[in-house]
Amino acid sequence: MRVDRFSQLMEVSVDGAYLYTWRVSTGRFGYGTPPGTFHPQRMEVSWFSRTYYNAPMPHAIFFYGGVAIHGSYDIAQLGGAASHGCIRLHPREAAVLFGLVRREGMRNTTIVVQ
Q: Note the pLDDT tens digit of each residue in 60-71.
A: 999 999 999 999
Which one-letter DSSP state was computed for residue 85? S
Per-residue pLDDT of 2-12, as tens digits, reads 999 999 999 99
More confident call, 49 vs 12: 12
Distance CA 27, CA 63 (A): 15
pLDDT, residue 31, reads 94
Backbone angles phi, psi at 107, to 5 degrees: -65, -25
How many angstroms separate the CA atoms of 78 and 26, rounded? 9
Of 82, 74, 91, the residue nearest 32 (C-alpha): 82
2-113: CATH topology is L,D-transpeptidase catalytic domain-like (2.40.440)
Q: What residues does each domain of the chain span?
A: 2-113
CB 89 within 8 A of CB 71: yes
pTM of the model: 0.94
